[in-house]
Amino acid sequence: MELNVLPPNPQGPHRRLPPWLKRPLPSGDFTRTTGIVAESGVSTVCEEARCPNLSECWSKRHATFMILGDRCTRRCHFCAVETAKPGPLEADEPDRLAEAVGRLGLRHVVLTAVARDDLKDEGAGHFAECVRAIHDRCEETTVEVLPADFHARRECIETLCEAGPELYNHNLETVARLAPKIRPQAKHERSLQVLRTVKELAPGMITKSGIMVGLGETVDELYRAFEELRSVGCDVLTVGQYLQPTLTDHLPVEKYYHPDEFEALGALARSIGFLSVASGPFVRSSYNAGEVFEESRRRLRTHACRKGDD
């Protein structure tokens, strides 16, 4: 697959970010969001993963909540979330979470979680309780879940699907060749199997996945990853720039993609049938997730109407 791309840019340990990777200062409702999140006692991936979009999203009263604690049982070499023995589950977390979502007035909320390989069901039951709590308290709010892979255990995925999230998101993160280096405790095919299983259990549920670029992948490898995701029925794709959380404990950036390259990658992905594609330097799984979800739902309805006409 050919694509006009810029050559790799040199990466040194103190190399400055390119100008298109600068972020605005906090404004708007940033302080209000900070207060509500703090009072809820629920972690956010915005903080734990050091997301570069935190100031923008919180200024709009958007937050991505991270349940099941803030300590992960896995160590991925791109992620800033702490790897350590997790604490016990907090029985009141679903209610505190639902209250925070209501106070923020979120129309669409993304719930992610650390991997909990220490639990019998890997946290699937607690995750489902959180989804139900939000739906019970905030009837108009749509819920997007972004769980770990549950080792692709069908019963765990089914537990979460039965809670009725409107969108099931699971990130492929990178291309097959780089997966063992970047996610040593996960597997490329396992992540594809998760998305395949969701479509088997809930054919009408929208599925989504995300890929980081800048870790040494090629365009051909990215195209193959896009095709793999479409082969398991993935509806929505996000493509964003990997940014190194720390200089010593995480993989270095091999290349900063130019916005024009993200445009080209987005067009490439759309050409093979994704309902919606978000591709850009600051795109993350949860970035503008509500808008991406609505676009996907509109296009899904349009496709259904066209099929009906046929």
Give tens-digit pLDDT for 211-224: 999 999 999 999 99
Q: Is the Cβ–Cβ distance between 104 and 63 less than 8 Å?
A: yes
Q: Are strands 65-67 and 108-113 parallel, antiparallel or unpaired?
A: parallel
Strand partners, 236: 208, 276
Range 15-53 burial, b when 16+ CB lie within 10 A, else e = eeeeeeeeeeeeeebbeebeebbeebebbbbbbbbebbb
CB-count exposure of residue 204 (10 Å: 0-12, 13-18, 19+): exposed
Domains of the chain and any CATH numbers:
23-309 (3.20.20.70)
pLDDT at 284: 83
- Residue 201's pLDDT is 98
- Of the candidates 29, 28, 34, the one whose C-alpha atom is nearest the C-alpha of residue 46 is 34
Q: Note whether 304 and 263 are within 8 A (CB).
A: no
pLDDT digits (tens, 9 = 90+) for 86-95: 999 999 999 9
Joined tokens for residue 217: 């992948």
Between the CA of residue 216 and those of 10, 15, 106, 285, what are the distances in Å?
12, 17, 37, 20
pTM: 0.84
Q: What is the pLDDT of residue 70?
A: 85
How high is the pLDDT of residue 236? 96
Distance of CA 93 to the CA centre of its chain: 21
Phi, psi (rounded to 5 degrees) for 67: -95, 180
Look up residue 188 and give its two tokens. Answer: 């490329």
Between CA 169 and CA 174, with CA 170 as vertex, the angle to 5 degrees is: 130
Residue with tokens 């720390």: 246
Beta bridge partners of 113: 67
Q: Which two tokens stand for residue 32?
A: 């209000």
Q: Is the pLDDT of residue 51 over 70?
A: no
